[in-house]
Structure 1
Amino acid sequence: MHVDPLAPLLDLADVAPAFAEARNTVDAAMRHRALRRHGGQVAAEASLRAAVASAALEGSTYDLEEVRGGTVTDPTVQGALRVAESLGGLVDLWPRAPRQVLAKLHVLAARGVVHDHDLGRLVSGAERIDALSALVAGNEETPPLLLAAIVHAELITLRPFAGPAGVVARAAARLTLIGRGFDPRGLVGVEAGHLEREPEYVGSAGAYATGTPDGVRSWLRHYASAVTAGAQQIAVIGDGVLAAV
């Protein structure tokens, strides 16, 4: 029997209830009637909003409608859009070859931002990336929401790639949620939840980096809140799709 190395984190105060609330909110969101016939449109809009939010968290903030209209040429925004478009093709590879996927995500995210020589190349933290890859590869024991939160936290605090490493971190977490069946259709825009709570996002990531139980607890509670907010966006998007048809 395999033992989940992250299981003790669910015993930190208020973490399990926060994760349960996030799960319940996602389950409720998945029952929105727009998903019955217009699921593809909802998924496309959620992906666009997630990419715009992820770029904004890297300092490249643009109006959603401008990005939708194709007038924004900012390389970080374009990279976030490329990453969002690529996720479906990387879901199966992620648990088999995490390091390869991380390098691919960085190539997509950082093209035009960093020198071509640096695309896909680690600039720090090789040992921790090895440990994270070992944690991701074939892990069926850790609950997907917890695993995604730790993947995100490790990458966002380590920033092992040059340039928009945060885009890579958020994409890797999304791949975890999709691949492990928490959000199989890729509808939950967790990135929008992080942006909505940006000061908390930054602060809790810094707290996580301290390695203390309270710091890790702060991050996990934030992550659950961001997932909850991202799930709530599904109804907003779904209502908009229904109103347009």
Structure 2
Amino acid sequence: MFPSFTGYRVRVDPLAPLLDLADVAPALTQAREQVDAALRHRALRRHGGRVAAEASLRAAVASAALEGHVHDLDDVRAGTVTDPVVQGALRVAEGLGGLVDLWPRAPRQVLAKLHVLAARGSVPADDLGRLVAGADRIDALTALVAGNEQTPPLLLAAIVHAELLTLRPFPGPGGLVARAAARLTLIGRGLDPRGLIAVEVGHADREPEYLGASGAYATGTPDGVRSWLRHYAAAITAGAAELDRIGDAVLATV
């Protein structure tokens, strides 16, 4: 069964047993290697800002699509899409940088801020940032995040993501919050310090697997958790490949 978070001050890694699930540790290791390779793309030396902006845009569009709000990337880039979920995804992407330092110190506060950014225009104003489900489990999750330097970043991000998808603790487009919290974990823990890996694109490209694996995780069985972690590793790898494509495209225009 999935290990309980409750009672940890995270001096040891409470998620370490998950690395013993079949094929999980190798998959996460390989995904990290792909990220490290992508972050060495030569476009980042002189054109890092352009690459980062494009990666952020693609991640936001993919995250909105996973909420069922599918729009053409070029239309969003042109500013012609007024869909409130897309606009929420763009606000979240823009706001991540200012929340990185706060995330490990006050994760519950950050989750509320993410919901305000994501759901404005999609839910009533009184519901913005308001927890509607899973308070006890959210407390346990935030206790796991706060000050945790033991759990490997990819593993912690994957669990943060899946827990928030399972709980849907806020009304409206909660998937935007889940994916953003996972992204904050990857950035803050140094795996992707500049937020260049558009893992949301990886999830969107494998959407049936994303939905199936997150549903499997929600069962709490070892096989369900394993299915999710293997999917997450594959999505990270796809996000690294997307960064390579963005970098290549930027270099082709200079």
TM-score for the superposition, normalised by structure 1: 0.99
Of 50, 64, 79, which aligns to 1:70?
Answer: 79
Structure 1 residues 110-189: aligned runs within 5 Å: 110-189=119-198
State the alpha-carbon separation in 2 of the partners of residues 176 and 16 from structure 1: 18
State the alpha-carbon separation in 2 of the partners of residues 48 and 219 from structure 1: 25
Letter of the 1:105 counterpart: L
1:29 aligned onto 2:38: yes
> How far does the alpha carbon of each residue in 1:57-77 deviate from its partner, in whole angstroms, 9 at most, with x for none?
001000000000000000000
- Report what 2:23 is aligned to: 14
TM-superposed deviation, 1:145: 0.4
1:5 aligned onto 2:14: yes
State the alpha-carbon separation in 1 of the partners of residues 194 and 17 from structure 2: 29
> How far does the alpha carbon of each residue in 1:143-174 deviate from its partner, in whole angstroms, 9 at most, with x for none?
01000000000001110000000000000000
Letter of the 1:16 counterpart: A
TM-superposed deviation, 1:2: 1.8
Letter of the 1:135 counterpart: L
Letter of the 2:164 counterpart: L
Structure 1 residues 89-128: aligned runs within 5 Å: 89-128=98-137
Of 194, 203, 206, which aligns to 1:197?
Answer: 206
Unaligned runs of 5+ in 1: none
- Report what 1:39 is aligned to: 48
DSSP 3-state at the match of 1:123: coil
Percent of pairs with identical residues: 81
DSSP 3-state at the match of 2:148: coil
State the alpha-carbon separation in 2 of the partners of residues 30 and 182 from structure 1: 10
- Report what 1:213 is aligned to: 222
CA RMSD of the aligned region, Å?
A: 0.7
TM-superposed deviation, 1:244: 1.4
DSSP 3-state at the match of 1:109: helix
DSSP 3-state at the match of 1:183: coil
DSSP 3-state at the match of 1:141: coil
State the alpha-carbon separation in 1 of the partners of residues 160 and 36 from structure 2: 22
Letter of the 2:180 counterpart: A
TM-superposed deviation, 1:27: 1.0
Aligned length: 245
- Report what 2:7 is aligned to: none
TM-superposed deviation, 1:91: 0.1
State the alpha-carbon separation in 1 of the partners of residues 38 and 93 from structure 2: 21
- Report what 2:5 is aligned to: none
1:51 aligned onto 2:60: yes
